[in-house]
């Protein structure tokens, strides 16, 4: 397995932050995409090289595990995992053909589709555990805060890693479900690594964080009061692996091989809780944090219902003007 790190970008922006860049990449560079056939390479005894853009977070543990277990090689693929800071780098790299596949949260894929970026989901990424109070994502408040429920976030400032994305849409959904006014929540943009300190210094009233930052914030005195993913839908698929529509059309056998290997990886991770040990291969999480943190739920069952739900929430809370036609995005 080859793992490369891209040069760092602004850590505040971790998902789809520049639609203009993505669309430009689509129009100018999509013709550059391409790749060999996994089946033809397998028949000749060679592996098809593919590059996958991933983020150094717990969510992508299954693909590292699958590469280590040889699942991708058995499907005829030689995988390079390219570490990026977020979707702002991954989406245009997939569209241009620099990467053949990438990882992103579902809302970012919906927003890209709304802007005409031709993406195709090929496998599930990760799911909420479905357990409020025991999920890998939470809204955390500082020690001594009077905020005890989603409704209490009315009129408060909540940090999210990217404005107008899956963080604020699911937090608003949790607030509304708890009887609060979702429009009364004020979101501010802050990088996940900066959130525990911002909470401790009371720069914000609350912060939406994901592991390992959820556990870090709690260990530094914070309290998790809202499990926004689990409270939005206990079966919510949060993220997915994707490719470009052009690559899917040009190299269907490679896409099929990737999906098969990724599904094996997801199921293997689901059946082997000790799979968290693979985090040491691409993250630097303190042992005491890794021991206490909650991993996402993994499954090979791609959830179209989750895509549709997050699409509806994006429209409901003003991320897009109306629900997006996601038919071309779906596998």
Q: How far apart are CA 22 and CA 119, in angstroms?
A: 11
- 105 pLDDT above the threshold of 70: yes
List, for residues 38-96, the tens digit of each pLDDT value: 555 555 569 999 999 999 889 999 999 999 999 999 999 999 999 987 777 899 999 99
Residue 97 has pLDDT above 60, yes or no: yes
Question: Cβ(79)–Cβ(4) under 8 Å?
Answer: no
Q: What predicted TM-score, i.e. pTM, was given to this entire model?
A: 0.87
**Cα(331)–Cα(183) distance, rounded to whole angstroms?**
33
Domain ranges of the chain: 2-128+235-316, 137-232
DSSP result, 297-319: B--S---HHHHHHHHHHHHHTTS
CATH topology agreement for domains 2-128+235-316 and 137-232: yes
pLDDT at 21 exceeding the cut of 80? no
CATH superfamily of the 2-128+235-316 domain: Periplasmic binding protein-like II (3.40.190.10)
Q: For domain 137-232, give the CATH superfamily.
A: Periplasmic binding protein-like II (3.40.190.10)
User: Residues of the chain with pLDDT > 90: what percent?
Assistant: 82
- The continuous run of DSSP H or E covering 242 comes out as strand 237-244
């Amino acid at each position: 397995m080859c793992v490369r790190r891209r040069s760092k970008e602004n850590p505040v922006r971790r998902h789809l932050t520049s639609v203009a860049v993505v669309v430009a990449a689509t129009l100018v560079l999509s013709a550059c995409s391409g790749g060999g056939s996994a089946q033809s390479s397998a028949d000749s005894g060679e592996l098809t090289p593919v590059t996958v853009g991933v983020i150094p977070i717990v969510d992508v543990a299954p693909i590292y595990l699958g590469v280590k277990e040889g699942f991708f090689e058995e499907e005829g693929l030689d995988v390079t995992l390219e570490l990026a800071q977020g979707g702002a780098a991954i989406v245009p790299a997939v569209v241009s053909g620099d990467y053949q596949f990438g990882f992103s949260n579902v809302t970012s894929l919906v927003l890209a589709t709304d802007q005409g970026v031709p993406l195709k989901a090929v496998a599930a990424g990760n799911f909420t555990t479905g357990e409020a109070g025991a999920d890998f994502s939470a809204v955390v408040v500082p020690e001594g805060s009077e905020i005890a429920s989603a409704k209490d976030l009315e009129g408060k400032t909540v940090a999210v890693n990217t404005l107008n994305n899956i963080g604020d849409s699911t937090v608003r959904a949790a607030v509304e479900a708890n009887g609060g006014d979702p429009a009364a929540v004020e979101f501010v943009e802050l990088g996940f690594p900066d959130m525990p300190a911002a909470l401790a210094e009371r720069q914000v009233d609350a912060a939406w964080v994901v592991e390992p930052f959820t556990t870090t914030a709690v260990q530094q005195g914070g309290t998790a009061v809202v499990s926004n993913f689990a409270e939005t839908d206990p079966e919510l698929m949060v993220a997915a692996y994707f490719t470009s529509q052009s690559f899917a059309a040009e190299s269907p056998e490679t896409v099929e091989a990737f999906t098969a290997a990724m599904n094996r990886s997801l199921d293997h991770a689901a059946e082997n809780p000790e799979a968290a040990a693979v985090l040491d291969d691409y993250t630097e999480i303190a042992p005491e944090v890794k021991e206490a943190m909650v991993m996402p739920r993994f499954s090979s069952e791609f959830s179209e219902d989750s895509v549709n739900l997050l699409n509806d929430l994006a429209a409901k809370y003003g991320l897009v003007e109306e629900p997006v036609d996601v038919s071309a995005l779906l596998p």
